[in-house]
Structure 1
Amino acid sequence: MRAAVIGGGVGGLTAAIGLRKSGWEVTVYERSAALPTTGTGLGIWRNAIEALDELGLADAARRAGRKQPDGSLRKPDGKVIGALRADVHLLTRPALLNLLADALPADTIRFGAAVTWQDCDEDLIVAADGINSATRRALFGVDVRQSGAIGWRGTVDLEVEAGGETWGKGVKFGLTPQADGRTNWYAMTGPDADLQSVFEGWHDPIPQVLAQSKDVLRHSLDYLPALRSYYQGRTVLLGDAAHAMTPDLGQGACQAIIDAVTLAKFLKTHNVQEGLHNYDKTRRRTTQRMTKQSLTLNRLARLRHFTGIRDTALKAALALAPKPRESWSADLEPDELAG
């Protein structure tokens, strides 16, 4: 049985590894000429680390990055709202992609191959072609929607002891330290905001981070409305192609990894229709719920009025927050676990 994976990102490469372990012959079609050599950091939560462990890659992922130290949620003047504690491992996107690519035979990935699902004659087609998935658009006629917010990202040669987020009136700024002494940062503003002006006068090291940053990325923070299914025929959607969400939960890459591992497990029998049905039943409800939660958090951060009430509620929520879940499948409902 042969599988085609459209897209050589985190979800696509993880799916290729999992499918090969399930006995499939796999070809990954990636339109870029090579894997990226630069990129900002990713937070890989325990749920995704444990999914990688099923592929024998968790230890390598830990070695490629660093444990995220606890941080704080703050106000623009630096006053702490509450502690941010999460079981998260930080590594750069290039490091994760190289780790995944190294787990595949050298001839698995075909770079510079801009194929469509209609070009593929394999028994299974995995569409991991990202937030602007041409496969999703062709099969389901659904495209992403704008949240109304703009995201900014960058990396700076500055070491910080701990990361965290700072929330203001309708805007926020986040810091995540990398293993190499540099720091990733991200921000959310309205569509017409000037980055430097918005965060002028905020607590250290935010002004210093922005002053030293180069090659800043700006993009719309979009999300995908709920699809009625994640597959059609022998073609299945995975990762952002299936459930693109705003980055507020920090779970985009994590859920793509879990999608891929789950899909591979259900396709061990090589019964494509049964496997895709079980994958859809298991993953769609969970990921669509996360998409809604992430959008809700995005809208909460964008409040411009009653921020004092918001911050008080956040302080209480953080104080009562449970410890990170112990299992990567712990966020599934009982019937979802049963497939």
Structure 2
Amino acid sequence: MVRRHAVVAGAGIGGLTAAVALHRHGWEVTVCERAPALPATGAGIGLAPNALRALDTIGVDAAYAAGRSVPATMGVRSPDGRWLTRSATADMAARYGVAPIAVPRPAFTAALAAALPPECLRYGTTVTGVDDAAGRAVVRTGDGSGLPADLVVAADGIHSPLRRAFFPAHPGLRYVGETAWRTMVDAAGAGTPAMSETWGPGRRFGVTPLSDGRYYLYATAVVPAGTRPSDPVAVLRRLFGTWHDPIPALLDRVVRLDPAELLCNDLYDLAAPLPRLHHGRIAWLGDAAHAMTPNLGQGGCQAIEDAAVLAHLLTDTPAHRIPTALTAYTTARHTRTDSIRRRARRTGRLGVLRDPLAVAARNLAVRVTPDRLALRGMDGLFNGFRLPARELPHDRGAGTA
């Protein structure tokens, strides 16, 4: 078979996972990343059982790449420390075959990049557009050059220029009303807390032990978009400093960080699903395809699923059949990802309730739900990953496979 060439726009987790998967399926791959290098700092990412199984299909061992450290318990708490719901990770492993892990995002992306030949990675290269001709695409870059490609993977993030270019009528992003702060802190001497998210009135605080022994911390609050306080740590202390242990002690560690290590982002999701996840020879994945709020911890996990399914459907697919394979990719991924996007939005609405009566009713409803039923409610997420059949319908005028 003639060697096929894929250009991946974006070296985030979805783009790099797609590049590794395609490379291992025999594709020549070029990854264009506008940043001068992969980030050395950042936040953590949770890899749920569905993402770990997807990584398995392409031969990536996340635990080997970024370490494995699994807390004994995870769940939701109230600001006074009471558990509203709690699951043992051993029960999750028994139900889903593997326990979720959380890894430092920079270490994970570095491990994915290391799985590619160095010549595949082009940092400081911005994709400015794609000429999607019938026979082959040409990817335009910021230096004015063009890269011929049999496949273009649009992994260019939540503000995806390629999404805007090819779906100009789509309403785009919607601010969900929250801003998030994220960072990683040293865990030495701080004990080993459970993986928890604490819900207060209009704000939340998450503590996640990472595979390298640090903690990934995140906090959200209902504020106008673009709110950037001059002293964000003082704001975090005011919002969360009286909450249960170990939150106050962990905030003390945030004070000692370089300010650049405390990330601040307004939270957006897609206002509506894309009509499809492909156009000709272009496939969208991850945030570019189905940006969702982080309330279910599935944004990165769904990008990994996208990458695994895309590479699977393109295994041994000749160049002239690629558009047909991408139609199958949309069929395989569109309904699942949009369902999770909408579920994440609904979950977020529960997490940011501010009216005292509504908060009390929510907490009671969560607390009286048996933990086993709460765990069963994750079946659709954690057991929902499947590799579809590769038999493609005959596309008119494209010839036979």
Pairs within 5 Å for 1:125-140: 125-140=152-167
Pairs within 5 Å for 1:18-167: 18-58=21-61, 60-61=63-64, 64-85=67-88, 86=92, 87-118=99-130, 119=140, 120-141=147-168, 142=170, 143-158=172-187, 159-161=190-192, 162-167=194-199
Question: What's the TM-score once normalised by structure 2's chain length?
Answer: 0.79
Question: 5+ residue gaps in structure 1?
Answer: none
Query: For residues 336 and 220 of structure 1, do their structure 2 counterparts lie closer, same or farther at Cα, with a shift above 3 Å needed?
Result: farther
Pairs within 5 Å for 1:1-339: 1-58=4-61, 60-61=63-64, 64-85=67-88, 86=92, 87-118=99-130, 119=140, 120-141=147-168, 142=170, 143-158=172-187, 159-161=190-192, 162-191=194-223, 194-213=235-254, 214=257, 215=259, 216-224=262-270, 225-268=272-315, 269-270=317-318, 271-305=321-355, 306-317=358-369, 319=371, 320-323=373-376, 330-331=383-384
SS of 1:321's equivalent?
helix
Q: Distance in 1 between matches of 2:13 and 2:87?
A: 26
Query: For residues 63 and 7 of structure 1, do their structure 2 counterparts lie closer, same or farther at Cα, with a shift above 3 Å needed?
Result: closer
SS of 2:289's equivalent?
helix
Query: For residues 328 and 51 of structure 1, do their structure 2 counterparts lie closer, same or farther at Cα, with a shift above 3 Å needed?
Result: farther
Q: Distance in 2 between matches of 1:337 and 1:322?
A: 32
Query: For residues 182 and 22 of structure 1, do their structure 2 counterparts lie closer, same or farther at Cα, with a shift above 3 Å needed?
Result: closer
199-208 or 1-10, larger mean C-alpha shift: 199-208
The one-letter code sitting in structure 2 at the alignment partner of 1:136 is R
Q: Distance in 1 between matches of 2:360 and 2:53?
A: 38
Q: Distance in 1 between matches of 2:388 and 2:56?
A: 24
289-298 or 155-164, larger mean C-alpha shift: 155-164
Q: Distance in 1 between matches of 2:391 and 2:5?
A: 27
The Cα of 1:78 is off from its aligned counterpart by: 1.1
How many aligned residue pairs are there? 339
The Cα of 1:7 is off from its aligned counterpart by: 0.5
Query: For residues 332 and 95 of structure 1, do their structure 2 counterparts lie closer, same or farther at Cα, with a shift above 3 Å needed?
Result: closer
The Cα of 1:338 is off from its aligned counterpart by: 9.2
The Cα of 1:59 is off from its aligned counterpart by: 5.7
The Cα of 1:26 is off from its aligned counterpart by: 1.0
The one-letter code sitting in structure 2 at the alignment partner of 1:8 is A
85-94 or 135-144, larger mean C-alpha shift: 85-94
The one-letter code sitting in structure 2 at the alignment partner of 1:52 is L
Query: For residues 287 and 331 of structure 1, do their structure 2 counterparts lie closer, same or farther at Cα, with a shift above 3 Å needed?
Result: same
Q: Contact 2:20 / 2:116 at 8 angstroms: preserved in 1?
A: yes
SS of 1:218's equivalent?
strand
The Cα of 1:334 is off from its aligned counterpart by: 12
Q: Contact 2:50 / 2:385 at 8 angstroms: preserved in 1?
A: no
- Give the % identical residues: 40
**2:232 alignment counterpart:** none
The one-letter code sitting in structure 1 at the alignment partner of 2:244 is H
Q: Distance in 2 between matches of 1:152 and 1:296?
A: 21
Question: 5+ residue gaps in structure 2?
Answer: 93-98, 131-139, 141-146, 228-234, 393-401
Query: For residues 324 and 16 of structure 1, do their structure 2 counterparts lie closer, same or farther at Cα, with a shift above 3 Å needed?
Result: farther
The one-letter code sitting in structure 1 at the alignment partner of 2:185 is V
Residue deviations 1:197-244, cap 9 Å, x none? 221311111122223203322211100121111111111111100001
Query: For residues 182 and 229 of structure 1, do their structure 2 counterparts lie closer, same or farther at Cα, with a shift above 3 Å needed?
Result: same
